[in-house]
Amino acid sequence: MRRIVVVSNRVMELRKASQAGGVAVAIADLFRNRPCLWFGWSGKIVEGDGATDAPDIRAVKSASGSALATLPLTAAEYRDYYLGYSNSVLWPVFHNRLDLARFEAGFYARYMGVNMRFARALAKLVKPDDIIWIHDYHLIPLGAELRRAGIENPIGFYLHIPVPPSQTFLAIPEHGELARALSAYDLIGLQTQVDVANLIQFLEDSVSGRILQDGRISAFDHRLAIESFPVGIDPSSFARAAPVKGLVQSLNSAVRIIGVDRLDYSKGLPQKFRAFGHFLEKYPEYQRNVVLSQIAPPTRESVEAYTDIRQQLEALSGKINGMFGELDWVPIHYIHRSAPRDRLRDIYRASRIGFFTPLRDGMNLVSKEYVASQDPADPGVPILSRFAGAAEQLVDALIVNPYNIEEMADAIRTALVMEKEERIARYTRLMAVIRSYDSATWAASFLATLEAAAKERSRVAAPLTPSIRASMAKLARTAHAPVGLKLGGGRGKSERRLRAGNNE
Ligand code: GDG
């Protein structure tokens, strides 16, 4: 079985990864089924220019033939690559928050620097039969850098966050470089169909990419596949036979609404709190009977935009609790800490409503975890933002617009009065979706598509010699490239278009 080289910004011990939630769990699961090398940042920051190209390699005891390979970052890299370009440019722009983006000189250079250093180090570890799977926005240029280092293996990229509309993407000063880097992959996996459409539009607008008759995209001198692979969870790890005792009783019979989101401005927490406040005002009969428990673990606290959101939430929860609370009833339980994973499962199950209303989210795994934790005989109801990737699959949740406070308040009411029969019917359909596309299926289908795409690359295009590459680049700069000189040969009129000027 071919080894999978998984690359992500942060590498963790497998035991920790399975507890961390999100994609770390899916990566840890991969190690159970096949030999893997997990490569990325160790989480350590070294002073000065001390970052090295020689990774620390540790065998994974529980999985034979598998290993973790990590590199540290320098303090400057952490500042400019991680906090800077990744989390103050790409994260906000990809979540449609151009207003929060900080386009600062130096961020991009260091972002490239880290990607180049990672590529140099990884190229030495790659074996001819490996399949390389790169994860997320921190590492967009890594595939192109690996190709530059002579790596011919299949290389796929998976983006966990949303792709913004083309016009927003184009606002990034380095959008052309990012488009070129994305075009170097054999396969790009995205969370939703909307993301696929946005990325294709962006490649068309940014670098005159075009859709080929076989459905793949041609950009620069390369063909790539772009498809959606919605990230799944392992539902069996959330199912539990015995109902949870204690938690429900601890609320004096009040009904619990649960929210679990990293404290991130993309998660729509102020809007959620306002909607809950409005619900208490509009439907006063529910006062004292309903509690919103919001777990919001801290994240990226050194990025300025995250300080504001924290202050905003503290003020809002204080205001709503002050306005409606009683000595024996606090409407909002706001917890700015992380909870252990098994405890999360219990809280999900003890909550009549799961309230997941991000303004924008790649997928939102928490909504799937909530559904998978429910008691099949008496399930709760998820309320889900239409702007979470999960809304494309979880159509039987109560889908809301997170900017519409009235609609969210009404959805809480609808969920509270929903008959058991309807709750069970919705839960059954939601679980069918969650089970049929779980984390194992997600990984397997991405990897199978990647292998097929890479095979197609080697079939249609024997590696180009440097002189052919040079003449192709020259042709691409002129108005119309003759048919047959594009990678893989032209297949028809629609493939002959190569706009002038944009291809460099
Ligand atoms: C990114 C994309 C995409 C959360 N709080 C605690 C905790 N968690 C776990 C959850 C879940 C994970 O973290 C969060 O996953 P989400 O998908 O909800 O959101 P992001 O962290 O923003 O993840 C997102 C995801 O990547 C995967 O592709 O879905 O759109 O933004 O597993 O359970 N776990 C524990 N304590 C907490 O307090 N133990």
Q: Is the CB of 361 under 6 A from ligand 1?
A: yes
CA distances from 63 to 7, 408, 418 (A): 17, 46, 46
CA distances from 304 to 81, 192, 253, 277, 299 (A): 15, 29, 40, 27, 12
Q: Whose CA is nearest to atom 10 of ligand 1?
A: 21
Return the number of other C-beta atoms located less than 10 Å from residue 457's C-beta: 22
pTM summary value: 0.90
Does residue 201 form part of some domain? yes
**pLDDT bucket at 372, cuts 50 / 70 / 90:** very high
Task: Give pLDDT, residue 324.
Answer: 97
> 356: CA distance to ligand 1 center in Å?
12
Same domain, 242 and 195: no
Helices (H), 34-90: 75-77
Q: Is the CB of 312 under 6 A from ligand 1?
A: no
Task: Please identify, by atom number, the ligand 1 atom nearest to the C-alpha of residue 191.
Answer: 28
Return the number of other C-beta atoms located less than 10 Å from residue 200's C-beta: 18
Same domain, 300 and 153: no
Same domain, 93 and 197: yes
Same domain, 44 and 145: yes
> 22: CA distance to ligand 1 center in Å?
4
Pocket test for ligand 1, best of 94, 363, 437, 439 (most atoms within 8 A of CB): 363
Same domain, 207 and 69: yes
Per-residue pLDDT at 461 exceeds 60? no
The residue-averaged pLDDT of 27-33 equals 85
- pLDDT, greater one: 191 or 48: 191
- pLDDT, greater one: 484 or 469: 469
Return the residue matching tokens 């994240």: 299
Taking phi first (over 0 means left), then psi (-120 to 50 degrees means alpha), and beta for anything else, what does residue 426 get?
alpha
Helices (H), 246-393: 269-282, 304-324, 341-349, 365-372
Choosing from 421, 436, 451, the residue where a domain stops is 436
Choosing from 411, 436, 461, the residue where a domain stops is 436
Residue 36, domain CATH: 3.40.50.2000
Give the closest residue to 375 by CA, choosing from 233, 230, 234, 245: 245
Task: Give pLDDT, residue 203.
Answer: 95
Same domain, 251 and 163: no
**pLDDT bucket at 64, cuts 50 / 70 / 90:** confident
Does residue 32 form part of some domain? yes
Per-residue pLDDT at 490 exceeds 60? no
The answer to whether residue 129 is catalytic is: no
**pLDDT bucket at 462, cuts 50 / 70 / 90:** very low
> 365: CA distance to ligand 1 center in Å?
6
Do residues 464 and 221 lie in contact, with contact meaning Cβ atoms separated by under 8 Å? yes
Same domain, 65 and 187: yes
Taking the C-alpha atoms of residue 316 and residue 321, their distance in angstroms, rounded to an integer, is 8
Q: What is the pLDDT of residues 84-114, one digit of tens each?
A: 999 999 999 999 999 999 999 999 999 999 9
Catalytic residue among 160, 186, 222, 346: 160
Helices (H), 230-292: 269-282
Task: Give pLDDT, residue 480.
Answer: 33
Task: Give pLDDT, residue 15.
Answer: 86
Q: Which amino acid is at 451?
A: E
Same domain, 394 and 279: yes
Q: Is the CB of 336 under 6 A from ligand 1?
A: no
Structure tokens at 36: 């893997």
Q: What is the pLDDT of residues 260-285, one digit of tens each?
A: 999 999 999 999 999 999 999 999 99
Above pLDDT 70, what percent of the chain?
A: 88
Return the number of other C-beta atoms located less than 10 Å from residue 279's C-beta: 25
Q: What is the 3-state secondary structure (H, E, C) of 423-460?
A: HHHHHHHHHHHHHHCCHHHHHHHHHHHHHHHHHHHHHH
Task: Please identify, by atom number, the ligand 1 atom nearest to the C-alpha of residue 389.
Answer: 30
The residue segments making up the domain with residue 421 are 237-436
Same domain, 362 and 334: yes
Taking the C-alpha atoms of residue 232 and residue 191, their distance in angstroms, rounded to an integer, is 10
Does residue 367 form part of some domain? yes
The secondary structure of residue 252, as a DSSP letter, is T
Same domain, 8 and 128: yes
Q: Is the CB of 295 under 6 A from ligand 1?
A: yes
Above pLDDT 90, what percent of the chain?
A: 72
Structure tokens at 248: 């429900």
Does residue 77 form part of some domain? yes
Q: Specify the range with the lowest mean pLDDT, choosing from 117-126, 206-215, 293-302, 432-441.
A: 206-215
The residue-averaged pLDDT of 470-490 equals 36
Task: Enumerate residues 6+ apart whose C-beta is below 8 A from 185.
Answer: 134, 143, 155, 156, 157, 224
> 345: CA distance to ligand 1 center in Å?
13
Q: Is the CB of 160 under 6 A from ligand 1?
A: yes
Does residue 384 form part of some domain? yes
Does residue 504 form part of some domain? no
Choosing from 414, 436, 458, the residue where a domain stops is 436
The answer to whether residue 361 is catalytic is: yes
Per-residue pLDDT at 499 exceeds 90? no
Q: Whose CA is nearest to atom 39 of ligand 1?
A: 341
**pLDDT bucket at 235, cuts 50 / 70 / 90:** very high
The residue-averaged pLDDT of 143-166 equals 97
Torsion of CA 202, 205, 208, 211, to 10 degrees: 50
> 262: CA distance to ligand 1 center in Å?
7
- As a whole number, the mean pLDDT across the chain is 88
Same domain, 420 and 324: yes
Same domain, 454 and 425: no
Does residue 502 form part of some domain? no
Q: Is the CB of 297 under 6 A from ligand 1?
A: yes
Q: Is the CB of 66 under 6 A from ligand 1?
A: no
Does residue 279 form part of some domain? yes
Q: What is the pLDDT of residues 410-428, one digit of tens each?
A: 999 999 999 999 999 999 9
Please tell me the total count of domains within the chain. 2
